[in-house]
Chain A
């Protein structure tokens, strides 16, 4: 029998759900990064004459 690693959850279903949830977070993070990349690196400074 193949020994189970120390960190692996015991139930396969939990692992699938955990993987899915982590994937959702990564997808959301990637989406957020697109927003951040659209912002200028230097803020617009309003010059009041």
Chain B
């Protein structure tokens, strides 16, 4: 007996291929199409391909200068890299250029999920409170992104916009014992190099030398080389600008596990709603023994950073650790921008620090003070969020703030920003 598969495989005769059923139909149509294409003249095809590519590149350049985001409050799942949506540096700054006047005091909020407001609903976001406290002369833009560091994501937009907005501040969450690389680190470095190769970031010496050194180091690694080559090409093609814009406005073309039922839906159509279960989630976290145990251990370990045990096995401050922090942090931003950076040292939820002894608390406090001195020594402003000001109810989990905690962060941040004297003259733009 001869089945259809065998027919297709053995269907060649002296007069041509023999086809059966749907597969045969498809093969015939394909054959007809290919034969038609084969008869087309080559030069128009080649010219068309070049023209099509150039038109797309030109379109990418055009859309990169237009504001892409609509009704933007903060980055949420569908418009973030965790859902395969990678906004470009141009798209971030275009949004600000079209929504914030040059005479405003621009406050770019960066950092991680703490400042993205992961424990707050969109309408109770801490940056809305910050905007309210600062007043109409200020414009607050929340570009924080989950797991982003001090120099990641929003920091790139800040560096690009700094020459255009004479009154500008960059506010980010920070840890007293963590310093980030110039390009923001593994996950979000794409946006820094996107801006770098497109010439968007002003390169000031000696900071620029560190940037070039880092670029050379990263290009030695295959994945780093691929990233740098891709971003170098993108400065001419603007492929990322165009197709991200299309994905936001018209049709998204990349599979994401987060949106399996609406794969092609434009990402701009997703509007983040309120989560009514935040209080329940807070309870769940507290009731989870595993989570509590893990967080207690993390916090205890964290309280040893910057300390060494002496001969009597007692923890002592290691001044060299904070000297290293200070030295490394000098390379995070160009010198002239450091005084515009406000590093807010966020602390953990005291609910998960119940096993702390008096000595742990003492070290914890000393660490935050030393971290402040280290960063201030490098030229940054530091804002503390004292433990005494926060209660366990201000937190969703081990570190993310609920609305009440967000309001306290906003108050401390607004006071910190207003303490610094403003530049004399607003922008003439």
Listed in ascending order, the chain A residues whose CB lies under 8 Å from chain B are 5-9, 15-28, 30-32, 34-39, 43-49
Listed in ascending order, the chain B residues whose CB lies under 8 Å from chain A are 32, 35-37, 39-57, 60, 81-84, 86, 113, 118, 146-147, 187, 190, 230-231, 233-234, 237, 239-240, 242-244, 253-254, 256-257, 295, 298, 397-400
Q: Min CB distance, A23 to chain B, in Å? A: 2
Which residue of chain A is the closest to B230 with respect to CB atoms? A38
Partner of B239, one of A35, A47, A48: A35
Q: Is the interface of A mostly helix, strand, loop or mixed?
A: helix
The answer to whether residues A49 and B52 also contact, given A38-B240, A43-B257 and a CB cut-off of 8 A, is no
Question: B37 and A35: CB pair below 8 A?
Answer: no
Partner of A31, one of B36, B57, B254: B57
Q: How far, in angstroms, from A44 to B257 measured CA to CA in the complex?
A: 11
Q: How far, in angstroms, from A23 to B47 measured CA to CA in the complex?
A: 7
Question: A31 and B56: CB pair below 8 A?
Answer: yes
Q: Which residues of A contact B53 (CB under 8 A)?
A: 27-28, 30-31
Q: How far, in angstroms, from A24 to B40 measured CA to CA in the complex?
A: 14
Partner of B45, one of A20, A32, A39: A20
Q: Min CB distance, B176 to chain A, in Å? A: 17
Q: How far, in angstroms, from A35 to B57 measured CA to CA in the complex?
A: 11
Question: A15 and B82: CB pair below 8 A?
Answer: no
Q: Which residues of A contact B86 (CB under 8 A)?
A: 38-39
Q: Which residues of B contact A23 (CB under 8 A)?
A: 44-52
Given contacts A19-B40, A19-B45, A38-B231, 18 further A-B pairs with CB under 8 A are A5-B39, A7-B35, A7-B39, A9-B39, A15-B41, A16-B44, A20-B51, A22-B40, A23-B45, A27-B50, A31-B243, A34-B233, A36-B243, A44-B82, A48-B118, A48-B400, A49-B295, A49-B298
Question: B55 and A27: CB pair below 8 A?
Answer: yes
Question: A21 and B48: CB pair below 8 A?
Answer: yes
Question: A49 and B242: CB pair below 8 A?
Answer: no
Q: Min CB distance, B81 to chain A, in Å? A: 5
Question: A43 and B40: CB pair below 8 A?
Answer: no
Which residue of chain B is the closest to A31 with respect to CB atoms? B56
Question: A49 and B48: CB pair below 8 A?
Answer: no
Q: Which residues of A contact B239 (CB under 8 A)?
A: 31-32, 34-35, 38
Which residue of chain A is the closest to B46 with respect to CB atoms? A23
Question: A30 and B254: CB pair below 8 A?
Answer: no
Question: A35 and B46: CB pair below 8 A?
Answer: no
Q: Which residues of B contact A44 (CB under 8 A)?
A: 81-82, 187
